Amino acid sequence: MRIRSTTAGLVLPVFFILGILIASALGFWETESSKIPKTIEEGDFAGLADPADIRGSYTLADVSKAFDIPVETLAKAFGFSDAEDPAAVKVKDFEEVYGVTGDLEIGTDSMRLFTALYKGLPIETDSTTAIPQPAWNILKKEGASDTETLDKYSDRIVSLEDFKDATVSSDQQTDTEDERVIKGKTLFSELLDWGVTKEQISGVLGVPMGPSGMSVRDYCSEKEIEFSAVKDALQELVDKAE
Distance CA 138, CA 77 (A): 7
pTM of the entire structure?
Answer: 0.57
Q: Any idea how long the chain is?
A: 242
Distance CA 183, CA 206 (A): 20
The answer to whether the CB of 40 falls within 8 A of the CB of 46 is yes
Which residues face 106 on adjacent strands?
Answer: 99
Residue 211 pLDDT level (bands cut at 50, 70, 90): confident
**CA-angle at 65, arms to 217 and 89, nearest 5°:** 10
Indicate the domain borders of the chain.
51-162, 176-240
The answer to whether the CB of 133 falls within 8 A of the CB of 116 is no
At 101-151, the pLDDT tens digits run 888 999 999 999 999 999 999 999 889 999 999 999 999 999 999 999 999
The answer to whether the CB of 101 falls within 8 A of the CB of 130 is yes
